[in-house]
Amino acid sequence: MLLFKNGGITLFLRRKLWEPVLELVRQGITPHQLALTITLGAGFGMIPFLGLTTILCTFWAIRLRLNVAFTILIGYLMQPFQLALYVPFVDLGQRIFPVTPIPFSLVKLTSMFRTDLLNALQQLWLANLVGIMAWLLCFIPFGVVLYFSSRKVLHRVLPVQQAA
């Protein structure tokens, strides 16, 4: 109850959420690096493969010398989109590539697993794989647009860093 008096909730959110995020951003990162961090985190956060976000964000952030924690944070913030876009990506992949489409109904999936477990797992694995391919085809133009638009905004917002 005390949090809501005199703007306490605003102060709490600023101190516990906003300021730590700003500290991650301010760790000597350039607008180019921050735009790349946002792009990779957002893109890998939407990949239709649960659990792969952390691995991809960590690997590419280390490889490109980006802020690992901020990349993973962006990826985790995209998880609602990952869940919402899982079926559309798999459906798109099944339309693009010549595979037998799997049914996305609980009754049909349950029946498929009861009939032949190994065949059902194989079909789901293949459907997931074509979903990842569809995500990749969508991520390339999305990533280019997100990178250049966020880089332009960040050049205006972030202070220019002096060379040491």
More confident residue, 152 or 100: 152
pLDDT at position 99 over 50? yes
More confident residue, 50 or 37: 37
The reported pLDDT for the residue numbered 28 is: 64
Rounded Cα distance between 144 and 57, Å, is 17
User: What are the distances in angstroms from CA 150 to CA 20, 29, 47, 142, 143?
Assistant: 21, 14, 20, 12, 10
Categorize the per-residue pLDDT at 145 as very low, low, confident or very high, splitting at 50, 70 and 90: very high
Categorize the per-residue pLDDT at 85 as very low, low, confident or very high, splitting at 50, 70 and 90: very high
Phi-psi region of 97 (alpha: psi -120 to 50; beta: other; left: phi over 0): beta
Rounded Cα distance between 78 and 65, Å, is 21
CA angle 88, 91, 93 (to 5 degrees): 110
The reported pLDDT for the residue numbered 121 is: 85
* Two tokens, residue 68: 């690992």
Of 2-6, 55-59, 86-90, 110-114, the range with the lowest mean pLDDT is 2-6
pLDDT per position as a tens digit, 111-141: 888 888 898 888 888 889 999 999 999 999 9
- Mean pLDDT score across all residues of the chain: 84
Comparing C-alpha atoms, which of 79, 70, 14 is closest to residue 38?
70
